[in-house]
Structure 1
């Protein structure tokens, strides 16, 4: 949704027929514990009396409308105010710039975590999450094709792509375009749909990044006062590790080998792009002319030579 009001309107119009008596228990059993409730305009639907908190609403329904409520079960609701500017925890008033961070805070600070992992001591709110943690953290991520185990999901994804030719895709929820990862979706949403949160402009040049991390890397690399110089050429950067990466070009180091055709590369990213040859996909696609390239260096050279004017206008 483009904003919070659009999400609210969509929910009211499209999901008003949901059977809450069947829906809520199913969500509690599965993953959404407890139920999340937007209290921006909280009021009693029977008499339209405005109320400040969920506790006030419960007390009102019991006292005024004679309904029963089992107080021994607690409230079982995470209250929040849905807006586009700032998310504030309604239980302790901590503030966050996105809903996911605020929700993570609420799960960690405001819910009883009674299920403890006997291996590492981490605690969880239910048996389902404990089992998931044991599977991911202490068992590993297993490839269903060759049964090889990896310690992280992204490593399993790379393995599936390189060895089995299986490409994981992510869909844009605004136009259903398909991309390789979430970062590419953010780039797409910023450039194509003009979503402001994914258009971070550099204060020093026309460069636009989609994440704060990418912008920080850009500023450190090109605009930082601290400069690291290559002792073999005039290359300079504000990031020390980029010098080490750059020197591989001088010494011809190519430590990344394609497991299919044995071609060698100096960077793991170039090897990943090259693997698209074997899976039938291009590594990078030019947003200006839609021409495909199998490695980042060729793609970057094409953009500079053919579309330099488009990039900065």
Structure 2
């Protein structure tokens, strides 16, 4: 704080999108706009009040421009940050805590060319200069490539990345999740927001693009979503379904059932087929206790009870009429698995 109080420096923030004002966060198109804005809009700042609110961690050094470095109290020109520290102590009687570590990162901001303050290297863009300084001169400074914040060691940087950037977040409440489909489920359960896509021809809504494509092909006969097999008259509505069909029936690689004459080009489909012989039906309807060998068959069966496709528990394979019932079941019966 003393460097900002006594020094004729301009603090700023930066990430890959550009410069931002240290005091109000306004984004700037270039460094000259940044300096003009800061000197005209933030001439008087109560640093004792502002700094504790702004600096939430001592591990994040403040970036400052020292193009016209000097003491604001005695109008004395200063050569570098170290001389400014010495001047503050000797002339103004302040005590400077040298054990605080790296508090500021000094830069010479120039619109035409960016010069390194520690060597003779110069660059035509600030991003390259930052990379040079962190790599060549600041061995104990590590920068987050996502947001531009800097840290004094790798442990703190990794902690920041893990806390702030790993995993998708809910845009409404900021909660972080391991996968995007968990975010969508959270939005539906907590915020009541259902992600749907609508058919342009009949305004029917679907939960995802895949269901919409199937609908367009089957109901409206849209040629784009009616793919004809090159080997037989089979029509599929998606490329994935067609690929599965070709691999299953027309692939040169064949997997044969040792009980009947069934053949397929997909190994896992042979495994599903064998369940018919051994009566393996692990998917159970929670409404009528009817059992199925495939989760897809159970979901289709749930339509009998609800008119909508059901949901299947990933752990016990019981079926439920909707997300709400499944979620309640998982929290009551499989809480340990959810917390892993």
State the TM bucket, normalised to the shorter chain. 0.3 to 0.5
The higher relative CO (CA closer than 8 Å, separation ≥ 6) is in 2
TM-score (normalised: structure 2): 0.35
Structure number with larger C-alpha Rg: 2
TM-score (normalised: structure 1): 0.38
